[in-house]
Amino acid sequence: MATQTAAQRREGARAAYDAYLAACPARELLDTISDKWVSLVLNALSDGPLRYSDLGRIIAGVSQKMLTQTLRGMERDGLVSRTVTPSVPVRVDYALTELGRDLQPLMRAIKAWAESHIEQVHSAREAYDTRA
Amino acid sequence: MATQTAAQRREGARAAYDAYLAACPARELLDTISDKWVSLVLNALSDGPLRYSDLGRIIAGVSQKMLTQTLRGMERDGLVSRTVTPSVPVRVDYALTELGRDLQPLMRAIKAWAESHIEQVHSAREAYDTRA
DNA sequence: CAGAATCCCGGAAGATACTG
DNA sequence: CAGTATCTTCCGGGATTCTG
């Protein structure tokens, strides 16, 4: 009998690949910026700092949980800064860091590509869906 | 009593926002290229056409289901072409379309940004994790 | 060889309620 | 005001099995 089943071999390959991918910078970046809330926060803060509640209002559909979770993650990655003003009631401001601002040209490039090619994608989809 | 609860209002806002986002080209693009398997297929095909089984071997950890599903989606979006050669057994080749090749410079830009800034992200994380 | 169909599980995200 | 804590639901993705 085989020392390994096909499933076992694939499992091992998958584990190795996952490890490889986790260490891939491009993957890390894509995982970050493709997050719906991350990109929205990035955009909301592009005009200047905002308070927690302002962000919640501007990004209309977000739940408190996701907003907090998103901001924590972005703070951890060094994309935003969090400033607490210990007044009563408390006031917390969020702002883009230099790294966060560095990211903006790339986001604009992505947006530009999307806008200039979206028509091709849409017509390709239509062709695909109507054929057959 | 209020005509709407807070939850109902948020629900409406979320629905409207989702609709808005679904129509956002940048979001569509990000949702596409941030897919793990999409980016791997894009990369695998950059050197030329490959057969289904070759893709499965090169992208070591992928399951048949995900490979097929990914390729179908990319074909629908006009990123790859699918060519069936009705021999026995069947042979199917996948290749990048012009649109798919157009995407490569952007992918390289993302990769470049990631590689030149990943250190900052990692040290930011370390600082965040080690501080209290 | 290149898929299609089916079952199933873990984890992500929302709703709700509570707090310093 | 700015969160935290908990519960629950939903579905993306893997394993498995079958076929033209």
Residue A101 has pLDDT above 80, yes or no: yes
Domain membership flag for residue B9: no
pLDDT attached to residue B69 = 98
- What value does the CA radius of gyration of chain A take, rounded to a whole number of Å? 21
Q: What is the mean pLDDT of residues A88-109?
A: 97
CB pair distance less than 8 Å for B60 and A13 = yes
Strand C contact residues in chain B (41-60), C-beta within 7 Å: 51-53
pLDDT attached to residue A5 = 60
In chain A, what is the straight-line distance between the N-terminal and C-terminal CA atoms, in Å? 45
Domain membership flag for residue B60: yes
Q: Which of A30, A39, A99 lies closest to B39 in CB terms?
A: A30
Q: Enter the tokens of residue A111.
A: 């947006």
Within B4-97, where are the H helices? 6-22, 25-33, 36-44, 52-58, 64-76
Cβ(A64)–Cβ(A56) below 8 Å: yes
Domain membership flag for residue A8: no
pLDDT attached to residue B99 = 98
Residue of A nearest to B22 (CA): A36
Task: Write out which nucleotides of chain D lie closer than 7 A to a protein Cβ.
Answer: 1-6, 13-17, 20
pLDDT attached to residue A131 = 80
Residue-wise pLDDT tens digits, B29-53: 999 999 999 999 999 999 999 999 9
Q: Closest Cα to residue A59, out of B49, B121, B71, B14? A: B14
Query: Which of A11, A76, A81, A131 best probes binding to B when mutated, by most B CB atoms within 10 angstroms?
Result: A76
Q: Which residue is nearest to nucleotide D14 (CA to C1')?
A: B63
Residue A96: phi and psi, rounded to 5, are -70, 140
Global pTM value? 0.90
Residue-wise pLDDT tens digits, B62-80: 999 999 999 999 999 999 9
Q: What is the mean pLDDT of residues B14-36?
A: 84
Residue A16 has pLDDT above 80, yes or no: no
Give the confidence band of B10 by pLDDT, cuts at 50, 70, 90.
low
Cβ(A107)–Cβ(B104) below 8 Å: no
pLDDT attached to residue A21 = 73
Which chain A residues have a beta carbon less than 8 Å from that of B13? 60-61
What mean pLDDT is reported for chain B?
90
CA at B50, C1' at C8: how many angstroms apart? 32
Q: Which of A25, A39, A99 lies closest to B30 in CB terms?
A: A39
Q: State the sign of the Cα–Cα–Cα–Cα dihedral A82, A86, A87, A90.
A: positive
Domain membership flag for residue B68: yes
Give how many domains chain B has, as a whole number: 1
Report the alpha-carbon distance of residue B102 to residue B98 in Å, rounded. 6
Report the alpha-carbon distance of residue A40 to residue A43 in Å, rounded. 5
CB pair distance less than 8 Å for B21 and A36 = yes
Q: Closest Cα to residue B41, out of B86, B82, B2, B84? A: B82
pLDDT attached to residue B53 = 97
pLDDT attached to residue A1 = 45
Domain at B83, CATH number: 1.10.10.10
Domain membership flag for residue B51: yes
Least confident of A38-52, B15-29, B41-55: B15-29
Task: Count Cα atoms within 13 angstroms, Cβ side, for A71.
Answer: 25
Residue A35 has pLDDT above 50, yes or no: yes
Domain membership flag for residue A31: yes
Range of the domain at A69: 24-131
Give the confidence band of A60 by pLDDT, cuts at 50, 70, 90.
confident
Residue B3 has pLDDT above 60, yes or no: no
Residue A12 has pLDDT above 70, yes or no: no
Residue-wise pLDDT tens digits, B88-111: 999 999 999 999 999 999 999 999
Report the alpha-carbon distance of residue B41 to residue B35 in Å, rounded. 10
Query: Which of A96, A99, A103, A121 best probes binding to B when mutated, by most B CB atoms within 10 angstroms?
Result: A121
Q: Which of B15, B30, B115 lies closest to A33 in CB terms?
A: B30
Q: What is the mean pLDDT of residues A76-90?
A: 96
Q: Closest Cα to residue B26, out of A42, A28, A55? A: A42
CB pair distance less than 8 Å for A103 and B115 = no
Domain membership flag for residue A7: no
Residue B17 has pLDDT above 80, yes or no: no
Report the alpha-carbon distance of residue B72 to residue A56 in Å, rounded. 37
Domain membership flag for residue A19: no
